[in-house]
Structure formats: C-alpha cells, structure tokens
A and B are shown apart, each in its own frame.
Chain A
Amino acid sequence: MTAHLSDAAAIETSDLRKRYGPLTALEGLDLVVPRGTVFGFLGPNGAGKTTTIRLLLGFIRPSAGSARIFGLDTWSEGVAARRALGYLVPPEALYLDMSGDDQLDYAARLSGTPPVLRDRFLDALELGRGPLRRRLGTFSKGMRQKLALVMACQGDPELLILDEPTDGLDPLIQRAFESLLRERHRAGRTIFMSSHDLAEVERTCQRVAVVRAGHLVVQDAVADLLRLRRRTVDVRIDDAGAGAILALPNATRLSREAGRLRAAIDGDLNPLLRILALHDISDLSIESPTLEDAFMAFYEPAAAGPGPNGTAGVALTALPPASDGTTGLGSELGDDDVFTREVVTTAGGPR
C-alpha cells in the first residue's frame, strides 16, 4: 500500500480556512502530521476539530488554503488521497438494516482492500461472530462503535483518521483499542485522532495539536508539553531556600506557612532542583503534571488571573523550542498573527 505514496507528511494543511457565510469555522490552520506518528487533535466543542476532519476527507471544500494527505490535495485529488485512508464513521452513519458481517464486507468492497485485520480487531474488541449476524438495528451504541472501528481499521490503512474513537466503549475495551493503536503505530501506520479524553491522548499519542475557536493554539510533542507545563512544588525548607526558589524566573509563590512553601514552577525543574540540593529540606512533593492539566489552560478562554511572572497568557508561558527541534509551541506560534491573537484572547496563564 505504501509503494505509491509520496514522501510527504501524512497530513499537511496550509492556511486552511472554512467559512459558512458569516461564520468562520476554521481560520488559517497550519498543521503537519508526520508519517508514523499517533497524533492527537484536541479542542473544546465547536473548536473546529470536526470541520478539519471533514476537510481532510473531502466532505467539504476549503474556503481558502489547502489540505493534503500524503501530498495529495483532499478536494481535487480526494479519491487518490483516500486510497490510503481509514476513517471511523459515526455509528449513526451505519446501515441499520444490514447485518454486522454484511456491513464489514460492504465497507471492504468499497475500499477495495482485503480486510486483513478484521479478525484481529474483532477479537481484541470482543465483538463476537454471533452478534455480527444480527442486524445493526439491534446493536447497542457501544457495539456499533466497535463495528465502526473494525470497519475503519480492517484494511490496515496507511493513515487512520478517528473522531472520538473510544466514545461509548467501556474502559476495558478502550484500553484494548489503545493497545491496537500502539500496535498499528509500531507497524509504521499514522493515526490522527480527535478525543475529549485527555488521559487517553496522553497514553496513546506522541504529538498533539489543540484548536480553539477555529485557530491552532499549540502543536507539539506530548512529552514536551508535559515538560513545559506548570508543576506545584510543596517543600518544607528554610527561609533562605524559599527566597532562592521564589527568585527563580519560572516560580510563583502560592503560600508560605510554618516553614512550608508551596510554589508553582513553570517548565524546567532543573534550577529548582539545584537550589534544593543546596538547602536542608525535610519534606518535598512535586505534583506530576497530566496532559489534562497542561491543556485545560488551552481549553479555557480566560483562565483566572495573570500568568506567572506577569506574562499575559498561556501562549506566552514557557516557550523554549521543542526538544526535537521541530515544532515547539514557540515556533508554531511564531506566526505573529496567531501568536498575537492567542495572547489577546487568553487573559490568564495556565493553572
């Protein structure tokens, strides 16, 4: 399947815009999904995630800009672009009068690719052969979601586009599906998924992009976002040590009572650790950040209070280049237009 594909990124959008009359659904999206990555696409409801996916699939036409899959334009070369693509259709878009087996066969025939992974996915998602003989009208929501997942993945496509893939699945099946995704990733496949389940994204994805109100807010490696985000440090330390910590440029004082200091540290922990090594401490805890912590600031239009050290908002905090030297937050927001917009619209810093 990969032989005919160019060496271009799996997904690349350039100044992609979509307007519906006066309503702007997507505004100048520049997105790069490298081949072989599991890419999380996040954002609050109405942010433009589904619009982006529909543009990628050629369901709607861009108002401006372009979207490419493996270098092929998704509108003018959509048929060729979709040859390497598996898409998770919403469960309500299945034919309810068909049996599960017939639905899978129908999808495979439309794709023109043999369903080499069907059994593997059916087994892993615990979708028995018996129920597959029943009409989909008798399926529960979760079963339909499983069937839609099998449909999307059964042909082992080079690129999987999944919109809320684990919606309606129980936690065990959710973990089983995540395991399947990691398996496909190891096989070199690219996975582009939107999700509201940030813990799932953290477990599954290497890179993420966040959109809000039609704009790209951030695009980076998950590890870098976690490294950059704010941690809460709770330490029992003498006054000199506390003073040194609070003098750090990335520290914000939260409280100081009875020899205990609580402070917020943005980004790099090394300066803090160097200070701690020089002072006597009797107790220390550093809260591990989660992706949810990291992203809530991006989700919320106006987090409470100013950012640390007087910065204006989330987009300004802790923005060294990404460790892989590619698309760090700073570089992504290097576009003045987007950068300014994010700073202006985001009144507060991260939590």
Chain B
Amino acid sequence: MTITLLMTGRLLRRGLIGLASLLLAILLFEMVIPPVADSLGGTDGLEALIRTLPPSIQALTRTRPEFIAVSGLAGYLSTGFTHPLYITLTSAALVTFTARGLAGEMERGTIQLALARSVSRPRVYLSRVLGLVIVVTALSVAGMVGLLLGMAIARPAGTLVWWHLLTTISVCWLLFWAIGGLALCGSAAADTTSRAVGWATTGIVIFYVIDYLATIWSLIEPLGFISLFDYYDPADALVNGRIPLDHALVLALAGLAGVAGGYTVFTRRDLPT
C-alpha cells in the first residue's frame, strides 16, 4: 500500500499547480453566486429575470422560474452547480488529471519508472484510482467551500438547510466519479494525452448536449436517460436534501464501470513505444 500511496502522491504533486488553479477557479465561481442573489432583487427578482429568458437558455442553467419561486434561495444557489462554467471547470480538472495519470505517463515513458521495477500494473492503476477519488472529493468540496464563503460575505435573504449542503456535495461527487471513471478508462486505452483528452471531452460534450436537447426537444426527451447529467440534480439535493437512489446508483455504477474497464485495458495492453 505504501508504494501505491507513493505513486498517488507523485501523481498529485506533479499536477498540483494546475489542479490548485482549477480548484481556486471553482471556489471563486461558487463564491460569486450568493452575492448575485441580492443584487438581482432576491428570489422574486431572480424568478422575474429567469422568466425573461427563452426556454433554451433556461435549459442551459437547468432551472425554471417556477422552481425558483417555490424553492427560494436554495433553488437559486443550486444553479451554481449546474452552470455550464462550473461543469466546464470541473470537467477540465477531471479530464486533465485522468489523461495525465495514465496516457500522459505512457506517452512520456515515466510510467516505466514503476513498471520496470517490481510494481504490478494493478498497483499502478490503483494509485490512479486513489488519485481520482481524492480529486473528485476536492472538486466537490471546493465548490461548496466557495458557496459558503459567498454566503458568509453576502448574507443573502432566504433560508438554507445546512445539512443539504452535504447532500449536494454527495451528488456532485457522484457525477464527478462517473465522469472521472469513464475518463480514466479512456486514458488507459489511449497512447497519448491529447487522445485521452479528446475522447473524454467528446464524451462529456455528448452527454451534455443530449441532456440539453432532451430538456427542450420532445423528440430527444426519451433519450435523456443516456446522459450522465440526467441523473445529476443538485437542485433537488440542495432544496430537498434528496438524492434519488436510482440516480445515485447509475452514477456510481457508471464510474465503477469506467474504472473496471480501464483496469481491464491497462493490465492487458502493450505500452506505446
């Protein structure tokens, strides 16, 4: 286990600056959300503002004016976790971390440092999975820390159930785990960083587009279940403190399937020249 942790530590330290930058960006982004609430006139102002937006733009933020009206401050704050920028920042962190961890190390040859010694491929892979768990947790917590800082600074009107924050962290964690697991699988199969990044980014965009189109286009709606984002509902988590069991299972299993697939590929494949 010591060797596994040693490799995980090396992997995290190597990308520390980039990861820290993205975590800071996520924190700052979420920190901005609470102050904006009051500047827009509280829940009523937000509802009115969102009502002015066309449905296609509302779908981008994954919210509805009537939902804001009912859910109040918590409903508004949850939009920070479905905002395209938040999804982009967290995805970037996951994709770069997973791509660097396997495909990048195979491309540069640094993985040979471990594999030329008495370190097994499963152990190398486990170190990457441990790293992924740490990054997923850091991403989930960073957004919430930012939100809490923003709340402390702006003190917006409205109520928030504090333990619902934990539920929201959990639903974020599950989505990131699912994305990260699948991205790790791609990284295990790819020969180069750029290919791993390309595959993972394409997958995330496809999931996002399917989810978006399913919201605004009845023809696509039946296909919504294909997308991981269909099972990601931070609004429900923050407002009601609820994560539907089937949603949690789908996200958890998607991540597990990605990790298992990556394991199968990585332990059997040839390293690229």
Contact residues of A with B, CB < 8 Å? 50, 54, 57-61, 78-80, 82-83, 85, 87, 89-90, 92-95, 97, 106-107, 109-112
Chain A residue with minimal CB distance to B123? A79
21 of the cross-chain contacts (CB-CB < 8 Å) are A50-B273, A57-B116, A59-B116, A59-B270, A59-B271, A61-B268, A82-B117, A85-B116, A87-B117, A89-B109, A89-B112, A92-B109, A93-B108, A93-B110, A94-B113, A95-B10, A106-B113, A109-B2, A109-B6, A110-B119, A111-B117
Cross-chain contact B113 with A58 (CB below 8 angstroms): no
Chain B residue with minimal CB distance to A110? B117
B110-166, CB < 8 A from A: 110, 112-120
Query: How far apart are the CA atoms of A89 and B118 in the complex, in Å?
Result: 14
Return the contact of B118 from the options A60, A106, A107, A112 (Cβ within 8 A).
Answer: A112
A50 to chain B, nearest CB (A): 7
A325 to chain B, nearest CB (A): 35
Return the contact of B6 from the options A60, A95, A97, A110 (Cβ within 8 A).
Answer: A110
In the assembled complex, B3 has its CB within 8 A of some CB on chain A: yes
In the assembled complex, B51 has its CB within 8 A of some CB on chain A: no
Query: How far apart are the CA atoms of A59 and B120 in the complex, in Å?
Result: 11
Q: Convert B87-118 into 0s and 1s, putting 1 for each residue whose CB lies closer than 8 angstroms to a CB of A.
A: 00000000000000000000011101111111
Return the contact of A79 from the options B7, B13, B120, B271 (Cβ within 8 A).
Answer: B120
Main secondary structure of the interface of B (DSSP, over half): helix
Residues of A within 8 A of B108 (CB): 92-93
B33 to chain A, nearest CB (A): 35
Query: How far apart are the CA atoms of A208 and B149 in the complex, in Å?
Result: 69
Q: Convert B242-273 into 0s and 1s, putting 1 for each residue whose CB lies closer than 8 angstroms to a CB of A.
A: 00000000000000000000000000101101
Chain A residue with minimal CB distance to B108? A93
Return the contact of A97 from the options B14, B109, B114 (Cβ within 8 A).
Answer: B14
Query: How far apart are the CA atoms of A50 and B109 in the complex, in Å?
Result: 14
Residues of A within 8 A of B109 (CB): 89-90, 92-93
Cross-chain contact A87 with B14 (CB below 8 angstroms): no
Residues of B within 8 A of A89 (CB): 109, 112-113, 116
Which of B3, B108, B118, B119 gathers most chain A CB within 10 Å?
A: B118
Residues of A within 8 A of B110 (CB): 93-95
Chain A residue with minimal CB distance to B15? A97
Residues of B within 8 A of A59 (CB): 112, 115-116, 270-271
Cross-chain contact A93 with B113 (CB below 8 angstroms): yes
Cross-chain contact A95 with B14 (CB below 8 angstroms): yes
Residues of B within 8 A of A111 (CB): 117-118
Cross-chain contact B119 with A60 (CB below 8 angstroms): no
Residues of B within 8 A of A112 (CB): 3, 117-118
Instruction: A82-B118, A92-B109 are known; give 6 further A-B pairs, CB within 8 A.
Output: A79-B118, A79-B120, A93-B108, A93-B113, A111-B117, A111-B118
Cross-chain contact B6 with A106 (CB below 8 angstroms): yes
Cross-chain contact B112 with A93 (CB below 8 angstroms): yes
Query: How far apart are the CA atoms of A90 and B111 in the complex, in Å?
Result: 11
Query: How far apart are the CA atoms of A61 and B265 in the complex, in Å?
Result: 13
* Given known A-B contacts A93-B109, A93-B110, A106 and B271 have beta carbons under 8 A apart: no
Residues of A within 8 A of B3 (CB): 109-110, 112
Chain B residue with minimal CB distance to A109? B6
Residues of B within 8 A of A97 (CB): 13-14
Return the contact of A107 from the options B2, B113, B268, B271 (Cβ within 8 A).
Answer: B113
Cross-chain contact A57 with B115 (CB below 8 angstroms): yes
Cross-chain contact A61 with B118 (CB below 8 angstroms): no
Chain A residue with minimal CB distance to B7? A110
Query: How far apart are the CA atoms of A92 and B273 in the complex, in Å?
Result: 13
Query: How far apart are the CA atoms of A110 and B5 in the complex, in Å?
Result: 11
Cross-chain contact A61 with B6 (CB below 8 angstroms): no
Query: How far apart are the CA atoms of A85 and B112 in the complex, in Å?
Result: 13
Chain B residue with minimal CB distance to A56? B116
B114 to chain A, nearest CB (A): 6
Residues of A within 8 A of B112 (CB): 57, 59, 87, 89-90, 93
Chain B residue with minimal CB distance to A152? B116
Chain A residue with minimal CB distance to B110? A93
Residues of A within 8 A of B120 (CB): 78-79
Return the contact of A58 from the options B6, B7, B14, B115 (Cβ within 8 A).
Answer: B115
Cross-chain contact A79 with B116 (CB below 8 angstroms): no
Cross-chain contact B270 with A61 (CB below 8 angstroms): yes
Residues of B within 8 A of A61 (CB): 268, 270
Query: How far apart are the CA atoms of A92 and B10 in the complex, in Å?
Result: 17
Cross-chain contact A83 with B118 (CB below 8 angstroms): yes
Cross-chain contact B10 with A106 (CB below 8 angstroms): yes
Cross-chain contact B270 with A60 (CB below 8 angstroms): yes
Pairs A-B, 8 closest by C-beta atoms: A93-B109, A87-B116, A60-B270, A83-B118, A59-B271, A79-B120, A110-B117, A111-B117
Chain B residue with minimal CB distance to A84? B118
Query: How far apart are the CA atoms of A89 and B105 in the complex, in Å?
Result: 13
Query: How far apart are the CA atoms of A268 and B113 in the complex, in Å?
Result: 47
A187 to chain B, nearest CB (A): 21
A13 to chain B, nearest CB (A): 17
Cross-chain contact B271 with A54 (CB below 8 angstroms): yes
Chain B residue with minimal CB distance to A20? B270
Which of A50, A54, A61, A89 gathers most chain B CB within 10 Å?
A: A89
Query: How far apart are the CA atoms of A1 and B116 in the complex, in Å?
Result: 17
